[in-house]
């Protein structure tokens, strides 16, 4: 059983200024700033009266800036009065020092390399269908799906869905014309990659064929898709795995066929909630198989008969499931199959999970073990009672 992850981005070179030293915008060391401005604390509660500055110029001078400018504006409200009056450059350095503590060095370097990698693509790649890069519900989605999201009730979702096995939901989602445009955009991107001899990242650690949509400009559109069209559903059906607090995603397409990946082994996704929609084209095989939801400890445990499901992909049709729902894809025996995947994550859920041991609210095996313990406990209590009554020795 594999846990699938995004592959690490390729290393990038630091552009130096010719004398062996890399250029660096930092003018004074953080220690020097601290020395002159003394107070390193931040306020627990924001100063709502303070009107924070704008940091968008950071992105203009360095497009792959480590942190989003909006985070500086938000954090500025937490600065102590003495820090509010220091030059902007010093404020930035101070806030960066705080923010950097939140991510281990290696992860930060990885995120920075990925940002630079994306910037290299987006600054050169010319999109084919610009209309794909921002959401337009009426042209992207089928009317029944748009209506269900706008009604936003469990009943409206259940009306358009089937649940062929507990925790797996399927429904008609994408318009055929949208699927065609997206397929053409992916093809155009792949052509550009080949012509430019650009080395791109694989969609994930198991699929070799496909493309990461986030990396060539579709990230904002997919984020909106997650926030406005998937969160309402996962809030209702997957609350116990962070379905109401999804806050990041990995969006990609996977491709199967004779000269591509043939099948996909048994795995769990690096996501809390996964959206998988078939885009086409024509193919035989490629069925998804599901085998129950499991936590890390029970990921290799046996499946129960009611957890077994085989699902055949239909273009435009979405499948939504927990990332921890064990699954795989059967061989695509002929034709060409391309699916859109959105792995949605919740940082809150991941943080809380570190402190938990019992996952019986979603892991099938934790649930089974808990029931078993309860049955044994009731039996032991009964036995003790009967003994105390002298009914048995």
Residues that bind ligand AKG (CB under 6 A): 254, 264, 269, 276, 288, 327, 329, 339, 341
Instruction: Output 33 or 273, the one with its CB closest to Fe ion.
Output: 273
Residue 75 touches which member of ligand AKG, Fe ion, none, C-beta under 5-8 Å by kind = none
Q: How many chain residues bind Fe ion (CB under 5 A)? A: 1
Question: Packing angle between helix 30-37 and helix 88-100, nearest 10 degrees?
Answer: 110
Please state the closest distance from residue 287 (CB atom) to ligand AKG, in A.
Answer: 9
Please state the closest distance from residue 4 (CB atom) to Fe ion, in A.
Answer: 6
Tokens of 152: 């936003």
Tokens of 99: 């923010």
User: Residue 369: phi, psi to the nearest 5?
Assistant: -65, -40
Residue 341 touches which member of Fe ion, ligand AKG, none, C-beta under 5-8 Å by kind = ligand AKG
Instruction: Output 3 or 50, the one with its CB closest to Fe ion.
Output: 3
Please state the closest distance from residue 206 (CB atom) to Fe ion, in A.
Answer: 8
Instruction: Output 234 or 339, the one with its CB closest to ligand AKG.
Output: 339
Q: What is the dihedral of CA 308, 292, 208, 127, to 10 degrees?
A: 100
Nearest Cα neighbor of 225 from 69, 68, 340, 351 is 340
User: Residue 197: phi, psi to the nearest 5?
Assistant: 50, 40
Residue 301 touches which member of ligand AKG, Fe ion, none, C-beta under 5-8 Å by kind = none
Please state the closest distance from residue 331 (CB atom) to ligand AKG, in A.
Answer: 11
Alpha carbon distance 134, 389 (integer Å): 73
Please state the closest distance from residue 254 (CB atom) to Fe ion, in A.
Answer: 9
Alpha carbon distance 64, 192 (integer Å): 22
Whether omega for the bond prior to residue 281 falls within 30 degrees of 0, making it cis, is yes
Among 214, 269, 307, 365, binds Fe ion (CB under 5 A): 269
Interface with Fe ion, residue 76, by CB under 5 A? no
Q: Decide: helix, strand or coil at residue 378.
A: helix
* DSSP secondary structure letters along 218-274: THHHHHHIIIIIIHHHHHHH-GGGTTT---EEEEEEEEEETTSB--EEEEE-SSSEE
Instruction: Output 264 or 295, the one with its CB closest to ligand AKG.
Output: 264
> Cβ(315)–Cβ(176) under 8 Å?
yes
Strands 273-280 and 264-268 turn out to be unpaired
Please state the closest distance from residue 17 (CB atom) to Fe ion, in A.
Answer: 45
Q: 88 CB contacts (<8 Å, ≥6 apart)?
A: 53
Instruction: Output 269 or 365, the one with its CB closest to Fe ion.
Output: 269
Please state the closest distance from residue 63 (CB atom) to ligand AKG, in A.
Answer: 30
Give the residue nearest to ligand AKG (CB).
Answer: 329
Interface with Fe ion, residue 185, by CB under 5 A? no
Instruction: Output 236 or 278, the one with its CB closest to ligand AKG.
Output: 278
Q: 321 CB contacts (<8 Å, ≥6 apart)?
A: 167, 168, 169, 273, 274, 276, 290, 327
Alpha carbon distance 321, 308 (integer Å): 14
Instruction: Output 92 or 299, the one with its CB closest to Fe ion.
Output: 299
Q: Which stretch binds Fe ion (CB under 5 A): 73-81, 97-105, 268-276, 281-289?
A: 268-276
Residue 332 touches which member of ligand AKG, Fe ion, none, C-beta under 5-8 Å by kind = none
Instruction: Output 33 or 338, the one with its CB closest to ligand AKG.
Output: 338
Please state the closest distance from residue 274 (CB atom) to ligand AKG, in A.
Answer: 6
Q: Which stretch binds Fe ion (CB under 5 A): 220-228, 262-270, 277-285, 355-363?
A: 262-270
Which positions touch Fe ion (CB under 5 A)? 269
């Amino acid at each position: 059983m594999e846990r699938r992850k995004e592959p690490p981005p390729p290393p990038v070179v630091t552009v130096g200024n010719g004398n062996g030293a890399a250029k660096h915008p930092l003018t004074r060391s953080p220690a020097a700033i601290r020395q002159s401005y003394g107070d390193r604390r931040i306020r627990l509660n924001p100063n709502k009266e303070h009107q924070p500055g704008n940091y968008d110029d950071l992105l203009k001078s360095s497009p792959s800036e480590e942190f989003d400018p909006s985070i500086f504006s938000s954090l500025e409200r937490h600065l102590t009065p003495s820090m509010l009056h220091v030059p902007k450059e010093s404020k930035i350095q101070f806030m960066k020092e705080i923010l950097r503590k939140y991510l281990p060095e290696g992860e930060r370097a990885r995120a920075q390399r990925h940002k630079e990698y994306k910037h290299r693509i987006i600054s050169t790649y010319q999109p084919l269908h610009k209309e794909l890069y921002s959401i337009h519900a009426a042209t992207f989605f089928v009317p029944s799906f748009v209506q269900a999201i706008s009604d936003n009730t469990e009943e409206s979702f259940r009306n358009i869905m089937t649940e062929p096995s507990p925790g797996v939901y399927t429904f008609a989602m994408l318009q055929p014309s949208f699927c065609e445009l997206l397929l053409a955009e992916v093809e155009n991107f792949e052509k550009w990659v080949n012509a430019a001899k650009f080395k791109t990242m694989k969609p994930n650690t198991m699929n070799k064929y496909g493309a990461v949509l986030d990396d060539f400009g579709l990230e904002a559109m997919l984020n909106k898709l997650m926030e406005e069209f998937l969160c309402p559903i996962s809030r209702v059906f997957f609350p116990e795995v962070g379905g109401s607090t999804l806050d990041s995603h990995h969006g990609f397409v996977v491709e199967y066929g004779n000269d591509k990946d043939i099948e996909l082994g048994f795995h769990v996704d690096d996501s809390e909630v996964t959206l998988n929609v078939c885009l086409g084209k024509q193919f035989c095989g490629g069925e998804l198989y599901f085998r129950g939801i499991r936590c890390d400890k029970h990921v290799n445990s046996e499946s129960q008969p009611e957890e077994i499901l085989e699902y055949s992909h239909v273009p435009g049709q979405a499948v939504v499931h927990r990332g921890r729902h064990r699954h795989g894809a059967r061989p695509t025996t002929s034709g060409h199959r391309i699916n859109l995947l959105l792995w949605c994550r919740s940082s809150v859920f991941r943080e809380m999970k570190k402190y938990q041991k019992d996952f019986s609210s979603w892991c099938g095996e934790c649930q089974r073990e808990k029931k078993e313990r309860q049955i044994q406990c009731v039996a032991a209590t009964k036995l003790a009672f009967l003994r105390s009554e002298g009914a048995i020795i």
